[in-house]
Amino acid sequence: MEKKIKSIDDLMSIADLDPRHQTGEIIGSMTTSIHPRVFDIIAKFIEKNQNDHVLFPSLSVIEEELISETKRILGLSEDISGVITSGGTESNILALYAFKKTFSSRTVISLESAHQSISKAAALLELNIVKVKTNDDGYYNPDELQGILARYPNSVLVLTMGTTEIGRVDPITPIIDSIRKYHIHVHIDGAMGGFTYPFTNPKEFSKYVELVNEGLASFSTDYHKFPGAPIPSSVLFLSSMLEDKLKWNSHYMPAGYQKGLLGTRPGYSAAGALATLLLKGRDGLAYSAIRSYNLALETMNTLQSKWNLSIPRPDVPLLCVGLGERELVSKAWSFLWSYGIKTYFCSKPPGLRIVFMPHIKKKHIDRFIDKLLEFFEQGSREYHER
């Protein structure tokens, strides 16, 4: 096989193989474009280890400011601790580990719509996982879940703020009394919705914040998703008692300990996340979240009025456009990708996922709809006439 990269120029040019956010080609991924000013910040911190605060004191200041600014934006108490992580998967693993070590809980209650990293965390930590079914709209049965909580007191319940496939926020109101009654420890996975739901539904979001501020729940969210910070970049909020379980002795390092799963953690990502928040501010984040969510609802209404498609109404800017049979979904996906429209899959209902990240504009969605219509008129005719 001929070597494709023979020089630095080759390495630079190979990036052109990838689609670009700015053109609206990427409409199915939970990634987005980075603010141009952030690239200058990244260069300042690219070779610094976030887990070595003594050697790089600037990173200690950045971490403190990043966590403080995020708590201010989301309305979390100053008493809550924060741990910088590489993403939602690490945050979920750390949260379940902290619960296990603090409360000796070995049971995780998880909705079937939870991110696959919850099952991964349960396997790695040798925890028993109890899966709760959801209906076609992604909702759990409150009576069923309350019964499960009663059978497994002192367990850990995972709720998702923006499920991966249909954008559902798992309701907390129907089970709040059971959570308190049975001493359930809650982890809220807000990787996608943590920077959108607070602005599109602040009243409901405040109920989750109340649990976190009382020390009854942990909460994680990603900077590298909707805000548009460099990858990898996330944060886990939890009580100081739980945070203590996430420190490991490291005698050879000046600080004497490290936090999180990673030994070496990129300093540029924390600096880039803080820069992103400072550049956009709470108002900028809120405007972007509301605009994207409204565009998602507008798109849902348009698609349903045109073709009466099955599309669960989302709680965050994400749509699962149900197309029916999986073979038809696969054909539609291939057709759209051939025109540079990069959608993802969803399975309940079987269809195509669109994520309305900040770079997505109405003209990008109009092109998607036009090409989907072209597929229905051309590609599906062959499928149905076989």
Which position has the higher pLDDT, 89 or 324? 89
What are the start and end residues of each CATH 3.40.640.10 domain in the chain? 36-279
Whole-number percent of the chain with pLDDT over 90: 88
Distance, in Å, from the CA atom of 15 to the CA atom of 222, rounded to the nearest integer, reads 25
Answer whether 232's CB lies under 8 Å from 266's CB: yes
Distance, in Å, from the CA atom of 162 to the CA atom of 184, rounded to the nearest integer, reads 21
CATH number of 36-279: 3.40.640.10
What are the start and end residues of each CATH 3.90.1150.10 domain in the chain? 8-32+281-385
pLDDT of residue 104: 77
Average per-residue pLDDT in the chain?
94
pTM, 2 dp: 0.94
Segment 248-259 mean pLDDT: 88
pLDDT for 336 beyond 50: yes
- DSSP count for the chain of H helices, then E strands: 14, 12
Q: H/E element holding 71?
A: helix 57-74
Among 100-104, 285-289, 367-371, whose mean pLDDT is lowest?
100-104
Please list, in sequence order, all residues whose beta carbon lies within 8 angstroms of the beta carbon of residue 167, skipping any fewer than 6 positions away. 192, 193, 296, 312, 314, 315, 316, 317, 318, 319, 320
Among 1-10, 23-32, 70-79, whose mean pLDDT is lowest?
1-10
pLDDT for 380 beyond 60: no
pLDDT of residue 383: 46
pLDDT digits (tens, 9 = 90+) for 114-140: 999 999 999 999 999 999 999 989 999
pLDDT of residue 251: 87
Answer whether 213's CB lies under 8 Å from 81's CB: no
Fold category of 8-32+281-385 in CATH: Aspartate Aminotransferase, domain 1 (3.90.1150)
pLDDT of residue 121: 96
